Amino acid sequence: QVQLVESGGGLVQTGGSLRLSCATSGRTFSSYAINWFRQAPGKEREFVAAISRSSGRTYYADSVKGRFTISRDNAKSTVYLQMNSLKPEDTAVYYCAARSGSVHYILPRKYDYWGQGTQVTVSS
């Protein structure tokens, strides 16, 4: 099994930056694929970013491409999300999620394990 804990959320002004962390335990880096998702009130949960555990290849939603950067530290079993040039529409609860296997599906229903989420609020 795997456990995930997000941190780093907070309140920031438009144009500011935040760095989110997803600390994992269990078999995450040996047997699990990990993605970042987000969900605003009244909206569907949506894919944000992914990083391959094998190749390091990254994938981003069009809405964040060029502004967000996903990275990982294998020694710490931690995945990061650096968020720059933040906009009010980025306001949401951000989650990391894991699934068994190597495929980074973008559909939330494909993921079995979720962190508690961390709130990101961008003021205008």
- Tell me how far the alpha carbon of residue 41 is from its chain's centroid: 17
* The pLDDT of residue 28 is above 70: no
- What confidence score (pLDDT) does residue 68 get? 98
- Of 91, 102, 95, the residue nearest 81 (C-alpha): 95
User: Phi/psi zone of residue 98: left (φ > 0), alpha (ψ -120 to 50 degrees), beta?
Assistant: beta
* The pLDDT of residue 50 is above 60: yes
Q: Are 98 and 34 in contact (CB under 8 A)?
A: yes
